């Protein structure tokens, strides 16, 4: 998999502190509070006091969002980061849509209808939201929404992506990086290898694959 002479890698020195920061950033991003605290104590790293303070709250928000309890997620977000949703209309729309989907899934048709009329239709005034809105609304037409063409809206993958977006937005709101360094590094390596592969063709290194890298 790796076509370079392994000795090339030996020449690159890595600062241990940098590595620890990378790990820490991952833990913080995904709200692993205890693990992060353990790492800090174990390595004796110095960090500012309120680095971990809002971690719990963010964890709760993420949890409710990925479970589909959008209203709770919204409530907590309002507490932790007021005005965040006002500034992120798309995100707000997605969260409300999540709630709508929940209502439809729990067969609460009337409630879903009323909720949609009260909250969702407002977003329909902007052209780019119309298609999304139609997809949500269309769920009502099906007795078994999971068998409809929009079944992906009910899946956990979709909820996960919304939760991720919310998490990033909260981090950004607190002026923290919205992507963990680990993610960024992997993305960086992939893009560069892809570029080289395109430029040099067969002469260059093959595209980066994380799976293959981990196995080797």
Partner 1 sequence: MARPLTPHGNKDMIGSKGIIRRSEFVRIITKALYSLGYERSGAILEEESGIPLHSPLVDCFRKQVLDGNWDGSLATLNKISISDDVLKLASFMILEHKLCEFLEMDRVLDAVNTLRNEITPLRIKPKRVHELSTCIICPSLHLSLGSINGIKKSSSRLKLLNELQKVLPPALMIPEGRLEHLIEQALNVQREACYFHNSLDSCLTLYTDHHCREDQIPSQTTQVLQGHGDEVWFVQFSNNGKLLASSSRDNSAIIWEVREDGVLSLRHTLTGHQKPVLMISWSPDDCQLLTCGLEEVVRRWDVSSGECVQVYEKNGVGLISCGWFPDGKRFFSGVTDSSICLWDLDGKELECWKGQRMIKTSDLTITGDGKQIISMCRESAILVLDREAKVEKLIEENHTITSFSLSRDDQFLLVNLINQEIHLWDITGFPKLVMSYKGHKRSRFVIRSCFGGYEQSYIASGSEDSQVYIWHRGSGYLIAALPGHTGAVNCVSWNPVNPQMLASASDDHSIRIWGGTMLNLNHKEAYSNGVSHSNGKNVNDNELSL
Q: Could you list the residues that contact partner 1 (CB under 8 A)?
A: 109-110, 113, 116-117, 120-121, 124, 130, 133-135, 137-143, 149
Q: Which one, 37 or 111, has the nearer CB to partner 1?
A: 111
In eight-state DSSP terms, residue 11 is T
The least distance separating partner 1 from the CB of residue 132, rounded to whole angstroms, comes to 11
Q: Which of 48, 70, 53, 52 is nearest to 61 (CA)?
A: 70
The least distance separating partner 1 from the CB of residue 91, rounded to whole angstroms, comes to 21
End-to-end alpha-carbon separation of the chain, Å?
8
Residues 114 and 59: their CA atoms lie apart, in Å, by 30
The least distance separating partner 1 from the CB of residue 164, rounded to whole angstroms, comes to 27
The least distance separating partner 1 from the CB of residue 129, rounded to whole angstroms, comes to 11
Q: Which one, 48 or 110, has the nearer CB to partner 1?
A: 110
Q: Which one, 138 or 182, has the nearer CB to partner 1?
A: 138
Those residues whose C-beta lies under 8 Å from the C-beta of residue 153, and which sit 6 or more positions away, are: 97, 101, 135, 136, 139
Q: Which one, 55 or 145, has the nearer CB to partner 1?
A: 145
Q: Tell me the angle at which helices 16-29 and 181-200 cross, rounded to the nearest 10 degrees.
A: 110
């Amino acid at each position: 998999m790796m076509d370079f002479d392994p000795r090339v890698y030996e020449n690159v020195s890595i600062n241990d502190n940098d590595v620890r920061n990378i790990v820490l950033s991952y833990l913080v991003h995904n709200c692993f509070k205890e693990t992060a605290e353990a790492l800090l104590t174990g390595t004796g790293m110095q960090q500012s006091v309120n680095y971990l303070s809002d971690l719990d709250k963010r964890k709760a928000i993420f949890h409710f969002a990925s479970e589909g309890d959008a209203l709770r997620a919204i409530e907590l977000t309002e507490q932790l980061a007021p005005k965040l949703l006002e500034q992120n209309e798309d995100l707000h729309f997605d969260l409300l849509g999540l709630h709508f989907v929940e209502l439809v899934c729990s067969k609460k048709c009337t409630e879903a209808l009323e909720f949609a009329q009260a909250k969702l239709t407002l977003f329909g005034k902007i052209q780019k939201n119309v298609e999304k809105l139609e997809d949500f609304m269309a769920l009502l037409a099906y007795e078994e929404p999971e068998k409809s063409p929009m079944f992906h809206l009910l899946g956990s993958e979709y909820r996960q992506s919304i939760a991720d977006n919310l998490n990033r937005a909260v981090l950004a709101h607190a002026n923290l990086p919205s992507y963990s360094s680990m993610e960024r590094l992997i993305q960086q390596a992939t893009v560069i290898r892809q570029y080289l592969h395109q430029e040099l063709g067969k002469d260059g290194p093959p595209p980066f694959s994380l799976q293959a890298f981990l196995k080797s």
